Chains A and B, each alone.
Chain A
Amino acid sequence: MIKKDQSVLDYLYNHYSGALYGVVFRILKKEETAEEVLQDVFLKIWDKIDGYDPAKGKLFTWMVNIARNQAIDKTRSKEISKSKKTDDLDILVNRFDRQENFEIPVDTIGLKEVLQKLSPDQLFVVSQLYLKGYSQSEVAEEFNIPLGTVKTRLRLAMIELRSLLDIK
Chain B
Amino acid sequence: MNIEEYISSGILEAYVLGELMEAEMAEVQHNISLYPALRAELVKIEETQEKLLIQLAIKPSERVKSKLFEKINEKPAGKVVQLEQSSFTTWRYATAASVALAFITSYLAFNYWNKWKASESNLTELIAQNQRIAQDYNNVNLRLDQIESDLKVTSNPDFARVVMKGTVNAPQSLATVYWNQQTQEVFLSVQSMKELSKENQYQLWAIIDGKPVDCGVFDSNLAGVFKMKNIFNSPVTFAVTVEPRGGKPSPTLETMQVAGNLAKG
Chain A interfacial positions (CB closer than 8 Å to B)? 1-2, 4-6, 8-10, 13, 16-19, 21-23, 25, 34-35, 38-39, 42-43, 46, 50, 54-58, 60-61, 64-65, 68-69, 104-105, 108, 110-111, 114, 126, 129-131, 135-137, 151-152, 154-155, 158, 161-162, 165, 167
Selected from A35, A55, A68, A162, the residue in CB contact (under 8 A) with B48 is A162
In the complex the two chains form, what is the Cα distance from A152 to B13 in whole Å?
10
A21 touches B59 (CB 8 A): yes
B256 contacts chain A at the CB level, 8 A cutoff: no
List chain B residues, Cβ under 8 A from A161: 48, 52
Distance to closest chain B CB from A161 (angstroms): 5
List chain A residues, Cβ under 8 A from B148: none
A39 touches B93 (CB 8 A): no
Selected from A13, A50, A55, the residue in CB contact (under 8 A) with B68 is A13
B72 touches A17 (CB 8 A): no
List chain A residues, Cβ under 8 A from B14: 136, 151
List chain A residues, Cβ under 8 A from B19: 135-137
Chain B residues bordering chain A, tally (CB within 8 A) = 54
- A22-B73 CB under 8 A given contacts A13-B68, A57-B46: no
CB<8 Å pairs between A and B, sample of 13: A1-B77, A8-B93, A18-B60, A21-B60, A22-B53, A35-B64, A39-B67, A39-B71, A68-B17, A108-B55, A111-B56, A136-B19, A154-B10
List chain B residues, Cβ under 8 A from A152: 8, 10
A105 touches B72 (CB 8 A): no
Distance to closest chain B CB from A126 (angstroms): 8
- The 4 A-B residue pairs with the shortest CB-CB distance, nearest first, are A18-B57, A151-B10, A65-B18, A21-B60
Selected from B56, B59, B71, the residue in CB contact (under 8 A) with A131 is B56
Distance to closest chain A CB from B45 (angstroms): 6
B43 contacts chain A at the CB level, 8 A cutoff: yes
If over half of A's interface residues share one DSSP class (helix, strand or loop), that class is named, otherwise mixed; here it is helix
List chain B residues, Cβ under 8 A from A8: 93
In the complex the two chains form, what is the Cα distance from A8 to B100 in whole Å?
15
Distance to closest chain A CB from B164 (angstroms): 67
A55 touches B46 (CB 8 A): no
A61 touches B82 (CB 8 A): no
